[in-house]
Amino acid sequence: MAKLVIWIDFDPSGSTLSPSMIRLLEAIHKHGTIRRAAAESGMSYRKAWLLLQQTQKTFKGPVVNAGAGGHAGGGTQLTDLGVEVLTLYRAAVKHSSVAAQGNLETLTKLVRHDAPPRRTQRS
Q: Domain-by-domain residue ranges, the chain?
A: 8-110
| HSE-CB for 61 with a 13 A CA cutoff | 9
From residue 19, give the alpha-carbon distance in Å to each of 4, 15, 16, 22: 11, 14, 10, 5
- Structural domain 8-110, CATH architecture: Orthogonal Bundle (1.10)
**pLDDT for residue 15:** 93
From residue 108, give the alpha-carbon distance in Å to each of 67, 98, 102, 115: 45, 15, 10, 11
pLDDT beyond 60 at 120: no
In this prediction, residue 123 has a pLDDT band, given cuts at 50, 70 and 90, of: very low
Residues 57-101: tens digit of each pLDDT: 999 999 999 876 656 556 899 999 999 999 999 999 999 999 999
